[in-house]
Amino acid sequence: MSRGANTVRLRESNTPAPNTSFAEQLRGTLNAVPTHAWYATPSGTLIFLNEKAADYGGLPKDHPLRLGIDTGAPWDAHIQFLHPDDHDETRRVWSSCLRRGNAGEVSFRARDAHGLYRWFVSRVEPTRASDGTLLYWTVGAGEGTVGPASAALANALRHVIGKPVRNLPLTRERVLQTL
């Protein structure tokens, strides 16, 4: 099991099962956080976007990604929603996480419902059962900003993923270079 991975304790056989499944609980939790969040299958297929992320992307209310339905899409199908200049780096980081089973962080520009792009810093974490089995990949992404607001973004991401976010790659110079 990778260091820093989220661990989910499986219920003992004599403990009553909750009324909702773990996936339903996860969707409810991700919809409650005030940032863009989603989860993917162990193989990397994106299967759920929280309301904030789905609204940002303009997904219809009945879209499978709002409902947590695995459509069997390829592990990198979500890359199409990112700025073309960010495809290679995002694919490299995500495939590395999948291959190694560890957390990762990447910044990218995501397209909104109107076709405009905004910077995000994304942190992916493996969520594992107590026996080490990978259950899901959970991701939190905050909008990247320049100046003092970057500290606020790092703090918000820390609360979502439960650990500090270091070395944010967004600097005033990097943002200006991409304009």
Spans of all domains in the chain: 6-178
Q: Please report which helix (H) or strand (E) contains residue 47, including its range.
A: strand 46-49
- Residue type, position 123, single letter: R
* CA distance readout (Å), 59 to 124, 134, 164: 22, 28, 31
Q: Which two tokens stand for residue 178?
A: 């991409």
pTM listed for this prediction? 0.69
CATH number of 6-178: 3.30.450.20
Among 59, 63, 60, 70, CA closest to 23 = 70
Report the alpha-carbon distance of residue 93 to residue 103 in Å, rounded: 10
pLDDT above 50 (res 170): no
Note whether 36 and 120 are within 8 A (CB): yes
Q: With 0-12 CB in 10 A as exposed, 13-18 as middle and 19+ as buried, what is 93?
A: middle
H helices present in the chain, as ranges: 22-32, 51-57, 64-67, 87-100, 149-161, 172-178
Task: Please compute the mean of the pLDDT values over residues 126-147 and round it to a whole number.
Answer: 81
pLDDT confidence band for 103 (50 / 70 / 90): very high
| Residues 44-85 pLDDT 10s | 999 999 999 999 999 999 999 999 999 999 999 999 999 999
